Structure 1
């Protein structure tokens, strides 16, 4: 059992948990993830590690309450326990001095990007960060990200704060040469970033979090096509060369079970936040 030490609401329906998991905290690195099971009847869900503290023995992750499991997770309080957390899983991010690095993060992935920005800066890189969300109310960690970045931009889909959309990145890239781009966020956003950076020849790394079950390469559910080859996001990734990812296939696979996911969430809500078995 893993005790929730801290719970915070960062934005509407976006929550941060700090959980006591000393064995995971000791080994965790930027870019890795965990597989979480709330209780004995819970499903396995992957969440990217957003922080770790070896002295306190804790790890941090952030999630958006969009489906049955994340809504159920959001009801837990400080002091409650999560039945199972497996990790750290996946390959850690490559952290070294690349030179000038552009980091683009959106949605809940702003949280793990903050960890990466910190590591990249400590490695000696000049870091330019772009953080975005659908609307300004869903932005968080803005001041923390600004403090760690040499250059900092904000973008929202509706233009309610900062730039409207990511098209302004073309102007940024025309004025300054970057040695690497790292992007984390919704698939459509990462695809957009890759399309913008490709003409400039900037190596672009994406973090893929497709549908996943075991997280250790046994089930093959998280397979993605990269450079014409089948890869498993859990063991070959989760980071890949964004210019080689088949985003069209990835989007289709992510949407395969949307009807079932919505039905599960609706049934859970209809039962008053209890499991389908009456729990």
Structure 2
């Protein structure tokens, strides 16, 4: 059992939990994710690691209630526990690898996060700061009430720009509008990481392609099973079939077929849609990864 040490409500339907999972905390890196399961009948819920403390043996997760399983999860309180808390899974961010440090130091980096995408971006920016690498962060939200981790991000980002769609806080506009404004002012970036809703990442990539900024995106939002077996996170990257949970979750955003991914995401929500996808995709429908780790 994996005890919940603390729980906080960050915004409407957005919660933070700190969970004792020492083996996950010992091995994880920014960009990776865990799979949480409330009890033996619970659904497997893949969630990107928001923070970790190796000495304390804890993992911080942030989640939004979007269905029955995450709603059930939101009812858990400090002192209760998850039956399963598996990880770390997925590949770490390419920026947060010791072997890439020299190349990373040469980059001028901007992160763009939308909504709950703030959570997986935070550990990357924190890791970079710990290694002396500055980063600019653009945080976006529909309105002020849905913002979270603003103070946390201020502590780790060299420059932080907050924007809201309705203008209730910070810059009035979307993350792409803020990036364009910075570019027009002379700020030049050569590496972008964008994490948030699919439509947001699509339009960030459209802009960064025009500006010539290499862009990595996280496809964690489309994961369901988290092991490559269900086929939910199947995407086309260039001419190759990839699975977010096994091959990612981060990919070159300029190579992702966004239109196909969004159509597929909608189709996957129904039993008939899943059956049709399985028929059309044949042997490439399931990942069949065989690479899943676990807290062991």
* Fold match (TM-score > 0.5): yes
Q: Deviations over 1:38-58 (max 9, x none)?
A: 111111121000011111111
1:16 paired to 2:16: yes
Bigger mean CA deviation after superposition, 90-99 or 67-76? 90-99
Q: Deviations over 1:70-99 (max 9, x none)?
A: 110000010111111111000001123243
TM-score, length basis structure 1: 0.88
Q: Which runs of 5+ in 2 are unaligned?
A: 272-296
1:172 paired to 2:151: no
Matches within 5 A, 1:78-157: 78-94=78-94, 95=96, 96=101, 97-157=105-165
Residue 124 of structure 1 deviates from its aligned partner by: 3.2
Give the whole-Å Cα distance in 2 for the aligned partners of 1:221 and 1:132: 26
Give the whole-Å Cα distance in 2 for the aligned partners of 1:136 and 1:93: 29
Match of 2:75?
75
Indicate the structure with greater helix content.
2
Q: How many residues align?
A: 260
Distance 1:223 1:259, change over 3 A: closer
Give the whole-Å Cα distance in 1 for the aligned partners of 2:124 and 2:151: 16
RMSD: 1.6
What SS does structure 1 have at the residue aligned with 2:231? coil
Q: Which runs of 5+ in 1 are unaligned?
A: 261-279
Q: Deviations over 1:82-129 (max 9, x none)?
A: 111111000001123243100111111212211111112233333111
Give the whole-Å Cα distance in 2 for the aligned partners of 1:178 and 1:153: 15
Match of 2:293?
none
Contact 2:232 2:268 in 1 (8 A): no
Give the whole-Å Cα distance in 1 for the aligned partners of 2:200 and 2:58: 30
Give the whole-Å Cα distance in 1 for the aligned partners of 2:49 and 2:65: 17
Residue 31 of structure 1 deviates from its aligned partner by: 0.1
Contact 1:34 1:88 in 2 (8 A): yes
Q: Deviations over 1:151-206 (max 9, x none)?
A: 11111122211222232321212312112101111111111111111111111000
Match of 1:196?
207
Matches within 5 A, 1:156-167: 156-163=164-171, 164-166=173-175, 167=177
What SS does structure 2 have at the residue aligned with 1:5? strand
Match of 2:291?
none
Contact 1:34 1:86 in 2 (8 A): yes
Match of 1:246?
257
What SS does structure 2 have at the residue aligned with 1:29? coil
Give the whole-Å Cα distance in 2 for the aligned partners of 1:219 and 1:176: 42
What SS does structure 2 have at the residue aligned with 1:255? helix
1:33 paired to 2:33: yes
